[in-house]
Amino acid sequence: MEENIGKIFKCLRPAFSREAAFSLFVIVVVGIILKADDNGVSSIMRALALAHQTYPCLVNFFHSSAWHKDRLLLLWTGFLLREGLGWEVNGKTVLVADHTKQPKDARKMPDVRTMRQNSETSSKPSYFRGHDWGFIAMVSCRMAKSVAIPVWGEIHRDSEDESRSVRLLGKAVELSSSLGKSFYLVLDAFFSVGPVMLMAMRSGGLVHVLVRAKKNVTAYGIPAEVRKRKRGKPRKYGRKKKLIRLFDMQSSVFEYADILVYQKLETVKFMTLDLMWKPVKDKLRFFLVETSRGQIILMTTDMSLTAQDAIRMYCARAKIETAFDVIKNLLGGMTYRFWSKYLAPASRRPSKNTVPQHSLRPEKTARTLSAIENFVAATIIAHGILQYLSMVMPEQIIKANRCWMRTYPKDIPSEFVAKHVVAACVRELLNSSAKSWIAHLIRKRQDKRFDLYSESGKFKEASGF
């Protein structure tokens, strides 16, 4: 296990221009896995029993210019591709992307804005202040189980040049050109707009998009060729079709196949249509799908994609919601508390996002915003390590698990199980005299008042275990 973790860290070493920054990065990632509470950097201090003077070093690490999250996450994506963890369809790796909102009440935290929560849960307010995050994850399949491994995350700022829907696709195109790998990007109905499809079509095949269309989507048939040319401009669009009404057609028009829908095998009714879509003024492929869960319409820029592959890929999109749950609730990745003293205090009451916060030192405020994204990037790596270990060595993780569970895993352990096993392994290394470069980095920063090698268990008492 230690060898696999060390292999990941050494792969990410080129992202850091200084050895001290890389050492602190290792400590931060291990601390995120071990921490038992969600209080930002303070939780990492308590989890590893670090010395008091290490706290400002950790805070400055997230503000440091010795590393950048984009370079780090690019290396992380390349590592996953080299390890063969990406699920491939037609020679393209499948990515999923979505947004998630994180409430923040801090008055001097940069880029906090008023957002609306579209939720049926009555306990959530309709309007609140916080950050709007965009994430991209790589789908990985092992033993008939699929997971979404996050590879990129960023706060989506208000911008007149680029909308939130286009930003995620633009980043996927950048990853594709940097890594020399083509992708499928699976999105929900929020992204079924013309600019997204146009950008995918103009990417030159680097990224093909598969989205769920809105229920009121309208497309047009391809106009028939006219032998004798008439006066006027030739027709670009054929007959108008409201796709949702096509489900009322005779069953003989549809095809049937047995497909895994959210891990359950069932007979699916579907139809494939190549139609003109006015927002892009070009041809797209539409899939009309009816399962036990209802009727959906999928659309893609890849004219060679089959309905079976499209259904399987869209079912995998839900895995990014599980990744959000792990990042937020299990690892506490959204518990950052970075703020800028140069920002004018904002009201905690939700208001219109018309007047931006004034900063006396905009460059310092930008570094604070970068520190927030760096904290989440470190959490993405910690999450990825847990998923990597669960996929590569599932039997060892299950065997080493000493945590009581009502239902024990049979094939692929969850991130919860992997977190407890990795935490136990690290604590064992820190309480022994074994030679480990990861343990050596942590020991140098620990509080010397605690004897880590005694049998009294003082380290466990100090770290909360």
Tell me the per-residue pLDDT of 317-365, one tens digit each, with 9 for 90 and over: 999 999 999 999 999 999 999 998 898 888 777 777 767 788 889 899 9
Burial class (CB in 10 A: 0-12, 13-18, 19+), 126: exposed
Q: Work out the percent of the chain whose per-residue pLDDT is above 90.
A: 62
Check: CB of residue 128 under 8 Å from CB of residue 102: no
Strand runs labelled E in 234-352: 240-242, 255-261, 264-277, 282-291, 294-300
Mean pLDDT, range 23-47, rounded to an integer? 93
Q: Residues 77, 130: one domain?
A: yes
pLDDT grade for 463, boundaries at 50, 70 and 90 = very low
Q: Residues 380, 422: one domain?
A: yes
The reply to whether 330 falls in a domain is no
The reply to whether 388 falls in a domain is yes
What is the rounded average pLDDT for all residues in the chain? 88
Query: What pLDDT, on a 0 to 100 scale, did the predictor assign at position 411?
Result: 85
d(CA 371, CA 27): 16
- For residue 256, the one-letter residue type is Y
Q: What is the pTM of this model?
A: 0.90
Identify the sign of the CA torsion 252, 254, 259, 261: negative
Confidence check: pLDDT of 77 > 70: yes
Q: Residues 246, 99: one domain?
A: yes
Q: Residues 27, 139: one domain?
A: no
Closest by CA position to 176, among listed 200, 149, 212, 156: 200
Confidence check: pLDDT of 69 > 80: yes
Top-confidence residue, 463 or 447: 447
pLDDT grade for 164, boundaries at 50, 70 and 90 = confident
Q: Residues 66, 77: one domain?
A: no
Q: Which of 322, 342, 373 is the last residue of a domain?
A: 322
The reply to whether 351 falls in a domain is no
Query: What pLDDT, on a 0 to 100 scale, did the predictor assign at position 431?
Result: 83
Query: What pLDDT, on a 0 to 100 scale, did the predictor assign at position 62?
Result: 95
Q: Residues 390, 303: one domain?
A: no
Q: Residues 78, 173: one domain?
A: yes
Mean pLDDT, range 437-456, rounded to an integer? 73
Write out the residue range of the structural domain in which residue 12 sits.
2-70+359-463
The reply to whether 280 falls in a domain is yes
Strand runs labelled E in 215-263: 218-220, 240-242, 255-261
Confidence check: pLDDT of 221 > 70: yes
d(CA 310, CA 300): 9
Confidence check: pLDDT of 465 > 60: no
Q: What is the dihedral of CA 416, 418, 421, 427, to 10 degrees?
A: -90
Site of tokens 């268990």? 457
The reply to whether 331 falls in a domain is no
Q: Residues 170, 243: one domain?
A: yes
DSSP 292: T
Mean pLDDT, range 147-173, rounded to an integer? 86
- For residue 455, the one-letter residue type is E
Burial class (CB in 10 A: 0-12, 13-18, 19+), 220: middle
d(CA 316, CA 340): 39
Top-confidence residue, 372 or 448: 372
Q: Residues 287, 365: one domain?
A: no
Check: CB of residue 324 under 8 Å from CB of residue 102: no
The CATH number of residue 128's host domain is 3.90.350.10
The reply to whether 245 falls in a domain is yes
Query: What pLDDT, on a 0 to 100 scale, did the predictor assign at position 408?
Result: 84
| 204 Rama sector, left if φ>0, alpha if ψ -120 to 50, beta otherwise | left
Q: Residues 243, 311: one domain?
A: yes
For the chain, the domain total comes to: 2
Q: Work out the percent of the chain whose per-residue pLDDT is above 70.
A: 93
The reply to whether 229 falls in a domain is no
The reply to whether 346 falls in a domain is no
Pick the most confident of 123-127, 224-228, 427-431.
427-431
Confidence check: pLDDT of 443 > 60: yes
Q: Residues 135, 78: one domain?
A: yes
Pick the most confident of 216-225, 363-372, 407-416, 440-449.
363-372
Query: What pLDDT, on a 0 to 100 scale, did the predictor assign at position 454?
Result: 46
The encoded tokens of residue 157 equal 């700022």
Confidence check: pLDDT of 461 > 70: no
Query: What pLDDT, on a 0 to 100 scale, did the predictor assign at position 19?
Result: 94
Q: Residues 189, 117: one domain?
A: yes
